[in-house]
Amino acid sequence: MNYDITYVTEYRYGGPVVDNINAVRAKPATNASQRPSGFRLTVTPAVRIHEHIDYFGTTVHQFEVTKPHTHLAIEVATRCVTSPQPPPPDPTWDEVRTVDYREVGAEFLVIHEAARGHAVLDTLRDDSQADTPLATVRRLCDLIPQTFEYRTGVTYVGSTVADLIEAGAGVCQDFAHVMLAILRDMGIAARYCSGYLYAGGADGAQSVEVETHAWLEAMLPDERGNFVWVGFDPTNAILTGVHHVKIGHGRWYSDVPPIKGVFRGPPGAAMDAHVTMSTLPEPVGSASAQ
């Protein structure tokens, strides 16, 4: 698939603010299944933008607005071509219990929150247990949206797995976090992913309003002994595919927030954000991943 993506975020402050420092993670990653092009980031008021790659390999754009202002607009325009991923490897449990596996996946096996002690998590863990790690991850991906309701407004960016359990509902970030916690407790390395998800309607619309999205990747050994990261989207109970555009990954949401910043001035700010994804004709010479 070939996408044109526009991501706009605006902040309106209750009074003049200064020293507004922000880090933006919005540029699609380059990997075997996607190829971005033509990235442009525009900030109003105009500023000098600095780019670097963070510890996990995600592109970060940083800027600072030092002069007083009451409005900040961040606009991203980019294109990205995605291709189908190969079938995921299907290793045995013994293959994810090796020293090499634990060393390579060490950071993504750390449990930041208690993955036990909640009846809901214990049930999900028991009901998802299967003969192979892949079958287990697939089953858990199916069970999470059956267990929790997708509903906005009941959690926030700092919510924990315990908050999701208490509310019985949450959003994609929460679904990814609970799945990460359970997989890591099972000994399967998993990392949090942020990006965009194209959700074209049944009417064949070529341009749709979407939101930033979250899913996860589980690390599975293949038949050659390589460690492969496979994407799973527990919000939609599917493997990731050509409709997913990845920005980056980390241990949790806090490693890859779309925008993170601080400022000096009156507390609080009204924020408005939206993403538009449009499909384009496939570029000449594009090919699916083998």
Q: Would you say 108 and 179 are in contact if contact means Cβ atoms under 8 Å apart?
A: no
Residue 148 scores a pLDDT above 50: yes
CA distance to 117, 236, 282, per residue, from 215 (Å): 24, 9, 25
Mean pLDDT of the chain: 92
Choose among 48, 58, 50: nearest CA to 246.
Answer: 58
From CA 95, how far away is CA 280, in angstroms rounded?
A: 41
Confidence of residue 115 (pLDDT cuts 50, 70, 90): low
Counting every residue written for the chain, the total comes to 290
* pLDDT score at 282: 75
CA distance to 51, 161, 162, 174, 219, per residue, from 119 (Å): 44, 13, 11, 17, 26
* pLDDT score at 159: 86
Structural domains of the chain sorted by starting position, each given as residue range(s) with its CATH number in brackets: 2-83+256-280 (2.60.40.2250), 94-255 (3.10.620.30)
* pLDDT score at 201: 55
Q: Would you say 176 and 215 are in contact if contact means Cβ atoms under 8 Å apart?
A: yes
Max avg pLDDT among 104-118, 127-141, 161-175: 127-141
% of the chain at pLDDT higher than 70: 94
Region of residue 281 (phi > 0: left; psi between -120 and 50: alpha; otherwise: beta): beta
Residue pLDDT, tens place only, 235-280? 999 999 999 999 999 999 999 999 999 999 998 889 999 999 999 8
